[in-house]
Amino acid sequence: MKLSWKQYDLKLKHTFRISRSARDTAPVVILTLEHDGIIAYGEASPSSRYGESVETIEAFFSKINLSRFDSLFFIDDILKYVDSISIGNTAAKCAVDLALHDWIGKKLDVPLWKMWGLNPANAPLCSFTIAIDSKEIVKQKIREAEEYPILKVKVGLDNDKEMIETIRKITDKPLYVDANEGWKTREKALESVKWLQDQNVVFVEQPMPAAQFDDIQWLREHSHLPLIGDESVIRLSDIPKLAQAYSGINIKLMKCTGLREAMKMIHTAQATGLKIMMGCMIETAVAISAGAQLSPLLDYCDLDGNVLISNDPFEGIRNTKGKMILQNKPGLGVTPLA
């Protein structure tokens, strides 16, 4: 049983600007698990918002010792052990979860969606993200996104109206709007949400900082657009309290430690009446294809991290006109490119 890893610097096609940051490249770490003649892949995409970096991920990987386990099929035992190594480090833990699932799928020669009995026909269409930019660049991005039927728009700086009005001059496609905690007062958030209500917006994601839970609850009571929590929800244990402030949650494999916990979160959210969205970080086809395996269980799909980059080192589940094409390839369904 051998684990090895390698850093890749993903190049964004456009500067990726959200309310709290802007970047042109995104480092990720690909984890390779070799056992019994099978090579399996996982991925960690670190977010400083959650305290991770390439360094913390590599340090975490060096602490893992899987030799104590008799079988890689005992994924529940293995992931409990991996989770116990340290607090946090969710993207690093996710890489291990993905590699184990990929290995099991390859060993059984079955794609994960099929192993879980999920019907690809139930998967919602995937949105395409337009990050914050100038009018001219936004126009260019809208043209480039022509094939995608739903747009997700980043807001939360001082040009929200300009962003939306620029888009609305070109297209009437449904919009998901993500403020990434950018509106700092309840009054500002309410004014923004009320304006967006008339713009064919489906929902607003993370309007205010996660720490302002009472303000978000107040916002929900005073407006009509559904609110989706993203930065407010990291793992399974966050879900029960969220139904008081949100209509749905954005699950990300990098926040929640991977597919196994994501599946538990989906069922828990369904039980509390929350809608389920799955999002992503800037990621390669490895993590995007992993998320896509669960897409038939989602209400909203936002797995476009690898279509925003120009140098994906893997080939996997393809996104064609917003449809994630679940193929018959075993495990995560990914292959490294030469």
Which spans of this chain sit near Mg ion (rule: CB under 5 A)?
178, 205, 230
Q: How far is the CB of 183 from Mg ion (least distance, A)?
A: 13
Helix (H) or strand (E) holding 101: helix 90-108
If the CB atoms of residues 31 and 196 are measured against Mg ion, the closer one turns out to be: 196
Beta strand residue intervals within the chain, DSSP E:
2-18, 21-35, 38-44, 128-130, 151-154, 175-178, 201-205, 227-229, 248-252, 275-279, 300-301, 314-315, 318-320, 323-325, 335-336
If the CB atoms of residues 47 and 319 are measured against Mg ion, the closer one turns out to be: 47
Q: How far is the CB of 111 from Mg ion (least distance, A)?
A: 27
Closest residue by Cα to residue 322 from 111, 112, 121, 124? 124
Q: How far is the CB of 217 from Mg ion (least distance, A)?
A: 19
Q: How far is the CB of 302 from Mg ion (least distance, A)?
A: 8
Alpha-carbon distance 126 to 123, whole Å?
A: 9
If the CB atoms of residues 82 and 266 are measured against Mg ion, the closer one turns out to be: 266
Q: How far is the CB of 24 from Mg ion (least distance, A)?
A: 20
Q: How far is the CB of 204 from Mg ion (least distance, A)?
A: 10
272 close to 246: Cβ distance less than 8 angstroms: no
- Per-residue burial over 20-48, b if 16 or more Cβ lie within 10 Å, else e, is eeeeeebbbbbbbbebeebebbbbbbbbe
314 close to 284: Cβ distance less than 8 angstroms: yes
11 close to 311: Cβ distance less than 8 angstroms: yes
If the CB atoms of residues 230 and 261 are measured against Mg ion, the closer one turns out to be: 230
Q: Coil, helix or strand for 69?
A: coil
Q: How far is the CB of 187 from Mg ion (least distance, A)?
A: 22
If the CB atoms of residues 79 and 265 are measured against Mg ion, the closer one turns out to be: 265
Q: What is the DSSP string of 120-175?
A: GGGPPPBPEEE-S--HHHHHHHHHHTTT-S-EEEE--SS-HHHHHHHHHHH----E
162 close to 135: Cβ distance less than 8 angstroms: yes
> Is residue 261 packed enough to be buried (19+ CB in 10 Å), middle (13-18) or exposed (0-12)?
buried
If the CB atoms of residues 35 and 49 are measured against Mg ion, the closer one turns out to be: 49
If the CB atoms of residues 83 and 230 are measured against Mg ion, the closer one turns out to be: 230
- 92 Cβ partners below 8 Å, 6+ apart? 29, 44, 52, 56, 57, 60, 61
Q: Which residue is nearest to Mg ion (CB)?
A: 230
If the CB atoms of residues 102 and 230 are measured against Mg ion, the closer one turns out to be: 230
Q: How far is the CB of 228 from Mg ion (least distance, A)?
A: 8
